Chain A
Amino acid sequence: MPLIRPFGLPEFWIIVMAAKWTVALSAIAFAGGGLGGLLIALGRVSDSKWLRGLATGFIRLFQGTPLLMQLFLVFFGMNILGLAINPWIAAAVALTLHASAFLGEIWRGCIEAVPSGQREAATALGLRYVNRMRYVVLPQASRIAVAPTVGFLVQLIKGTSLAAIIGFTELTRQGQIINNATFSPFMVFGTVAAVYFVLCWPLSVLARRMEFRFSRATER
């Protein structure tokens, strides 16, 4: 009894609703990557050779390998470590590490773009490392960082589609499931792509606008 159902409104809604898992995974990876990225960025600009080397190694490792391999390694690595295989956790961990590396590198550049005189003035006033970073360097770096960070978020949202391969049911995987039932790949993946576009496009516009605003602000 072959059950080929047509692609109708219910199927359409199932796909659209699956976007919430894409959004959730992106949000977790972005939040975790934000924290990890800050640590990596601070490590990259630290005075300690040891910390710098560690942070650099981390970045090289994750920038030099495909995201899919990172997902596989975390997914199967959990199994080897005797943990239950859980696509949710594996995807969240792998994407967090991935985002940490990329945001770390982006933010390092932003921190280094703050003139060294700012750090020196803060130091000369007696401010110690944490206050120097918190009140002087990072607020200035974050202004530069907004546009490239939003740009990376777009990459990250699209990147979550790879989690489908380890069995995490988000937008892409839901599309595959519906396609197996309806055999209307064009409709199905057209819908999937459209949902990604609706998620990403406003962010791209936002990023471009902020880039423009920043370039104007620095011209003055």
Chain B
Amino acid sequence: MTGIAAADITGSSDLAVQMEGVNKWYGAFHALKNIELSVRRGERIVICGPSGSGKSTLIRCINQLETIRDGRIVVDGHDLTAGGKNVDLVRQETGMVFQQFNLFPHMTVLENCTLAPMKVRGIARVEAEKTARAFLERVRIPEQAEKYPAQLSGGQQQRVAIARALCMNPKIMLFDEPTSALDPEMVKEVLDTMIDLAKEGMTMLCVTHEMGFARQVADRVIFMDRGEILEMDTPDAFFGNPKNERLKTFLGQIS
């Protein structure tokens, strides 16, 4: 507890993500309402909530795949609202994993993993490939490096997507329902990869309805509904003693 208090006093240097009074609109639709969220370095956050509640929108604002109307987002000390160079810096330092994998189908697994390090960081091919193979090893698919995404199973594709993001050496990883498009038998292999990552101390924000995963790795669990954060607590309190009525209903539905 003292650690958290200290972090609050020393200010932004210990914060990976800081969202203050964030409002997001899609035309006339108010998608995010006054979001306040601070994520410390190394913290693991799980976000859940009903469909359309704004979970994806929230994490997509962190690497500015979505722009916000007002409020402030600071990622790793870079103020996104200042725009320009900061946005590029933040995108280089955050990795993102999507529900639909979004691997580049015209490139091999290895090329998927080396493209950004080479083109964004200017790393030489040989070195980029070495790093890529190391990460493919870590997500346990080193033998698939020369294949194309379409030749892999969904679980393997998602692990490639994780490796691809890790190749940029990100400080923060964003996951948007990484297991929702997978057949049930492949969910575990992807979750295991994520658990490994959490154990290594990666800062993670993860939208998921895998409550077992949330209990096991999350430091805090967030419940969103209709564009608002309605509850934010440790897994024990969140699942054991939910206060919000809509959260109770939601937990009743998914378990």
A residues at B contact (CB < 8 Å): 115, 117-118, 120-128, 131, 135-136, 139-140, 143, 220
> B120–A117 contact, CB under 8 A?
no
Q: List 8 A-B contacts (CB under 8 A).
A: A115-B100, A122-B116, A124-B63, A125-B115, A125-B168, A127-B120, A136-B115, A143-B106
B residues at A contact (CB < 8 Å): 63, 65, 88, 91-92, 94-96, 98, 100, 102-106, 115-116, 119-120, 150, 161, 164-165, 168, 174
Number of A-B contacts (CB under 8 A): 62
Q: CA–CA, A48 to B48, complex, Å? A: 35
* Contact partners of B104 in chain A: CB under 8 A: 118, 121-122, 135-136, 140
> A117–B102 contact, CB under 8 A?
yes
> B102–A131 contact, CB under 8 A?
no
A-B complex: 4 closest residue pairs judged by Cβ atoms: A121-B102, A125-B116, A124-B96, A126-B92
Whether A126 contacts B100 in the complex (CB less than 8 A), given A135-B115, A140-B105, A220-B150, comes out as no
* Contact partners of A123 in chain B: CB under 8 A: 63, 65, 91
What's the least CB distance linking B120 to chain A, in Å? 4
> B88–A128 contact, CB under 8 A?
yes
What's the least CB distance linking A10 to chain B, in Å? 52
* Contact partners of A125 in chain B: CB under 8 A: 91, 95, 115-116, 120, 164-165, 168
> B100–A117 contact, CB under 8 A?
yes
Apart from A115-B100, A118-B104, 8 more pairs, CB < 8 Å: A123-B91, A124-B91, A125-B164, A126-B168, A127-B115, A128-B120, A135-B104, A143-B106
Q: CA–CA, A115 to B98, complex, Å? A: 13
* Contact partners of B168 in chain A: CB under 8 A: 125-126
Q: CA–CA, A148 to B65, complex, Å? A: 32
What's the least CB distance linking A151 to chain B, in Å? 22
Of chain B, the residue at the smallest CB distance from A125 is B116
Q: CA–CA, A122 to B65, complex, Å? A: 11
> A120–B105 contact, CB under 8 A?
no
Q: CA–CA, A140 to B106, complex, Å? A: 7
Q: CA–CA, A126 to B85, complex, Å? A: 11
> A124–B94 contact, CB under 8 A?
yes
* Contact partners of B103 in chain A: CB under 8 A: 121
Of chain B, the residue at the smallest CB distance from A136 is B104
* Contact partners of A124 in chain B: CB under 8 A: 63, 65, 91, 94-96, 165, 174
Q: CA–CA, A131 to B104, complex, Å? A: 13
Partner of B96, one of A121, A127, A128, A135: A121
> B98–A120 contact, CB under 8 A?
yes
Of chain A, the residue at the smallest CB distance from B96 is A124
Interface centre among B92, B94, B105 (most CB of A within 10 A): B105
Q: CA–CA, A54 to B198, complex, Å? A: 49
Of chain B, the residue at the smallest CB distance from A121 is B102
What's the least CB distance linking A128 to chain B, in Å? 7
Q: CA–CA, A191 to B165, complex, Å? A: 61
* Contact partners of A120 in chain B: CB under 8 A: 65, 98, 102
Whether A131 contacts B119 in the complex (CB less than 8 A), given A121-B104, A124-B94, A126-B92, comes out as yes
* Contact partners of B92 in chain A: CB under 8 A: 126
What's the least CB distance linking B213 to chain A, in Å? 22
Q: CA–CA, A143 to B105, complex, Å? A: 12
Of chain A, the residue at the smallest CB distance from B65 is A120
* Contact partners of B164 in chain A: CB under 8 A: 125
* Contact partners of B116 in chain A: CB under 8 A: 122, 125-127
Q: CA–CA, A140 to B165, complex, Å? A: 21
Q: CA–CA, A125 to B65, complex, Å? A: 11
What's the least CB distance linking A136 to chain B, in Å? 6
